[in-house]
Amino acid sequence: MKKLLVIPALASLFVACQGEKGPAATFDDLKVQVKMAAIGGRNITWAADDMVYFSDDASTKPGFQFKASAGDISADGKTLSATYKSASPSTKVIYAFHAPMGRIRMKKTETITVDYDGTLGGAAMPAGSAAKGAVLTLSPTVGVGEFSLGRGYVEKVRISSSKAVFPKTLTYDFGGAGLNITKTTDLIEVTTSGNGPFYIPLVPGSETVTFDVDFMNEDGQTVAAGNFSGTIAAAAGTLTSLGKLDTDAIDILDPSVEEFEPATQAIKNMGVGVNLSGSFEVLWKEYAAQADRSNPTFYERQNGCGPTAQATMDSFATAGFKSVRIPITWWMHMDDVYTANTIDKVWLDRIEEVVNYCQKANLYCIINMHHDAHAHEAQGGQWIFADIKNYDKISKAYKEIWQQIAARFKDYDQRLLFEGYNEITDAAGTWTFPRDANDINAANKLNQDFVNTVRKTGGKNSTRNLVVSSYSCSVSDKPLNAFEMPSDLRPGHLILQVHNYAPTSFCGFSSADHETFGTEQDYTDIQNAMSTMKRLIVNKGYPCVLGEYGAPSEHMAKVQQPNGTWRIKIPAEERAKHAYYYTLEVLKLGICPIFWYTPQEGNHRTKGTWTYPEIKDALIKAWNDYQALQ
């Protein structure tokens, strides 16, 4: 027989509902019923039919039902004395179960700690009709916020706060300290039914807090979103009204929002595209130290490119290209991506200016987060990783930055697409697949975060076509099999992106071994890539853009050259042969190809004249020949 102390004051952790006419709150999932009143001091009333369950293990299966009686309360009103016969003489830890709060672990009688699991449902906080006519019994430690809704189809409300104002861990100390909040959280979920009122626990205080609210359907999809701010003047044991949360919420399914063309049509209309590389994705840290952040064109000049002009986009459109991908690195244009991550206004202004060049030239345009997610140079500032251990930290910053970008461009038409991240890797920079297979889940979750964040900004973003990527944008079995297309309330508006530089023996900057295209192995390598894309992308029904491909104007040689260099120049006509063949094969799959327009070719930015017209002509010829096949 073991002596176990259970705290009647522990009931002050729970909002109990005891109405004269209304029903009492019940906790059915673990068949635990707790009804307490007069919380606020040490005089606790424990009703004769109150129950709690004990068990020897951490499972949710109740072990022993204890039915209290008034005589089980000690004279000082602090403790409930109970006896429990363990199933094993060696038992060292006993568990008590209370449904809303989950498991209470008891090893010593000096303290008892209760951890919230991050969710609070109608059982813990009386919801809908269960709250009518009820009298709330409030905790002497925790305040309560009350809110209502006006959306009957909402099944759950997720509230995230700018400060950790929700209690997470509460500890009762028998040594005299009493009940204390020892951990807090900035996220809480409430299961809802009807319009309310609903209740959430709040840490006592008086400070201005901002809240972001997601209103979700039964499938967990955000159907509306809003935000509000207020002073949480919740003293311990008081009820604070938070008002009607959805007054200014954006309805993502608003039927008045124009429905953009589906992704399948967009990739057809995007034809053949080019990357505006070497301009906005500059990443080296020494540039960040040198740069005047008030002069955004500084970054455009660092790869030998002049500032992008309207003439640049006009030259693309006149040549016959239909789309432009603009790689953009953001981390150097804010103070700290994880904390002070407000994007410099001048940088956003400059990006918008270039997007407007595309719009005026009637080009589709993709903007992304580029070397934020994969820095090719050791001195880069990569901060977006497929890292499940640090997912919460990365996700928070990622969503906040995309919220700013999406809000700036929410009124642009369907010719503007957003791309979530470029070539994400794990924290070790592992290519093709992360070292820890669990990290692939972080890549998928960040794709979902991107879609949810953009949709929540409303306007035309609620139906905009969005581009998500496989791990490292790889065209290989393992990452493509692990890729999960995000869920979306607007079906048919998501596009998968991959990159491929086949054959690497010709296209690889550091692995190439010949400068003329057309060996038997070259064609075999390309066809192998096509086969993989057909099997794991096309056959799965994913609309797709090949966001990068092509051969550089020079690559690192494996053998030192006669002139003393370790580089091999690739003739433009050989690159053109490759560009034509590869582009036509991709188009035959129904995938939109976007050629990587390398920095060495970037000196026509301002004037719009072509450095390598042979390659331009080869790409457009592939498009025209493909059109003739249709």
Q: Nearest 5 degrees, angle CA 456-CA 461-CA 467? A: 100
CA 200 to the chain's CA centroid = 25
> How many whole angstroms separate alpha carbon 464 and alpha carbon 616?
29
Which among 548, 574, 585, 601 is annotated as catalytic? 548
For the chain, report the end-to-end CA distance as a whole number of angstroms: 83
146 in active site: no
Task: Tell me the backbone φ, ψ of residue 312, rounded to 5 degrees.
Answer: -60, -50
> How many whole angstroms separate alpha carbon 470 and alpha carbon 485?
9
Query: Which SS3 state, helix, strand or coil, does residue 167 take?
Result: strand
281 in active site: no
Dihedral angle, C-alpha 327, 331, 337, 343, nearest 10 °: -80
If one counts every other C-beta atom within 10 angstroms of the C-beta of residue 602, the result is 20
**Which residues make Cβ contacts (< 8 Å) with residue 591, sequence separation at least 6?**
267, 533, 537, 538, 544, 545, 546
Q: Which pair of tokens denotes residue 135?
A: 């009298």
Yes or no: say if 463 and 260 are a contact pair by the CB < 8 Å rule. Answer: yes
Instruction: For the chain, give the longest Cα–Cα distance.
Output: 98
Which among 281, 423, 574, 601 is annotated as catalytic? 423
Closest alpha carbon to 491 in 220, 221, 155: 221
- What is the spatial order of strands in the sheet that 198-202 belongs to? 198-202, 143-148, 239-244
> How many whole angstroms separate alpha carbon 5 and alpha carbon 134?
30
The number of CA neighbours under 13 Å toward the Cβ of 327 is 27
* Peptide linkage before 23 cis (omega within 30 of 0): no
Catalytic residues: 423, 548
